[in-house]
Structures are given as C-alpha cells and as structure tokens.
C-alpha cells in the first residue's frame, strides 16, 4: 500500500517537473528586465507602491503632497458653482441648519415652489391591473418557490 502511494507521488512529481518548462515557454507575456525596471521607476515616481507599514495603503495615499495628483474631472468655474448654489438655495435643495440632515424644502415646504410630481396611476388603474393579474395568474403563488400561479397551475389560467 505504501509502495503505491510512493509511486503515485513520484509519478506526479516527475510529470509536473517535465511539463512545467513547456508551460513557461507558452507564456507570451514575459517582460524584459528593462521593462520591469521602467515599471518600478514609474510606480515609485507616482507613489503606486505599498507603504512600509501594515496599513496596506499606497505611498501616494499616505503622503499625497509628495506625489503628482492624477488627472481629475474637469472643474467648474466659480460662476458656475455660484449659479448652482443660488439655484439650490432658491429651490430649497440645501441642507437644513440642524442635525436632522433634512433639506430646507422638507423642513419648510411653504417657503419653496412645489416640485413637479411624477405622473402616477389612479386607484382605479391600479385595481384594474390587479384584477388582470389575478385573472391571468401573474401573481406570486403562496409558497417559497417564487413562481407565479400560472406556472404552478397552468390549466387554470388562459394562455396568451
């Protein structure tokens, strides 16, 4: 029994040893020493290397002033920001000056113009949709399968 295990282990080791150079030769993405060196220099320049502590952060995250900042989104002009602020104040879309986290328009709705409401369905329309769903079996069955009644009892409901 022990001899079989030793033979199997030896065969597996030998086959792995024989196949591994072939697998390495198939890797077309090998880099030259110079390419790796250039990538390292770029990472050091931009701070994309791990910090020397246990935080797991990159150097550019720990010391942001020491590294160039990545190109961000295009910023707005001062006038554009002021216009957006004035519009937010006018419509009440600024945070209230208390600890609730609510907007001014939520605290004092009478001070601000009413927001347009999204078109909704009337009670009659909802009831009609429900009746149609019950008639066609497009309502969940009373089990935990997640299936519709028309799937559980296909003979009881009309086919489209």
pLDDT, one tens digit per residue, over 29-70 is 788 889 999 998 888 888 888 888 777 888 888 888 888 776
pLDDT of 87 reads 92
Residues 83, 62 share a domain = no
Residues 130, 104 share a domain = no
On whether residue 87 sits in a domain, the answer given is yes
Structural domain boundaries enclosing 64: 34-68
CA distance 37 to 43: 10
Running along the chain, 160 residues long, what does each successive block of 10 average in pLDDT? 62 61 62 89 87 82 81 80 92 84 87 81 92 91 83 82
On whether residue 11 sits in a domain, the answer given is no
- In a 13 Å sphere around the CA of 80, the CA atoms on its Cβ side amount to 4
* CA-wise closest residue to 48 among 68, 34, 33: 68
On whether residue 16 sits in a domain, the answer given is no
Residues 152, 128 share a domain = yes
- Rg for the chain (alpha carbons), in Å? 34
* CA-wise closest residue to 94 among 108, 73, 110, 80: 108
On whether residue 152 sits in a domain, the answer given is yes
On whether residue 149 sits in a domain, the answer given is yes
pLDDT of 160 reads 65
On whether residue 105 sits in a domain, the answer given is yes
On whether residue 18 sits in a domain, the answer given is no
On whether residue 151 sits in a domain, the answer given is yes
CA distance 112 to 18: 78
Q: How many domains does the chain divide into?
A: 3
Any idea of the CA torsion for 54, 59, 60, 63, to the nearest 10 degrees?
90
Confidence (pTM): 0.32
* Tokens representing residue 87 in the block: 């519009």
């Amino acid at each position: 029994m022990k001899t079989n295990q030793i033979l199997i282990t030896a065969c597996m080791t030998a086959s792995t040893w024989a196949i591994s150079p072939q697998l390495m030769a198939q890797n077309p993405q090998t880099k030259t020493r110079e390419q790796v060196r250039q990538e390292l220099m770029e990472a050091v320049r931009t701070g994309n290397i791990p910090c020397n502590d246990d935080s797991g952060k990159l150097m550019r995250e720990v010391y942001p002033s020491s590294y160039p900042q990545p190109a961000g989104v295009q910023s707005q002009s001062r006038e554009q920001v002021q216009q957006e602020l004035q519009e937010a104040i006018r419509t009440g879309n600024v945070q209230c000056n208390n600890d609730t986290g609510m907007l001014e328009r939520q605290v004092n709705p009478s001070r601000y113009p009413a927001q347009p409401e999204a078109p909704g369905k009337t009670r009659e329309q909802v009831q009609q949709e429900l009746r149609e769903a019950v008639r066609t079996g497009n309502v969940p069955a009373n089990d935990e399968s997640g299936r519709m009644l028309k799937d559980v009892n296909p003979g009881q409901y009309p086919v489209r």
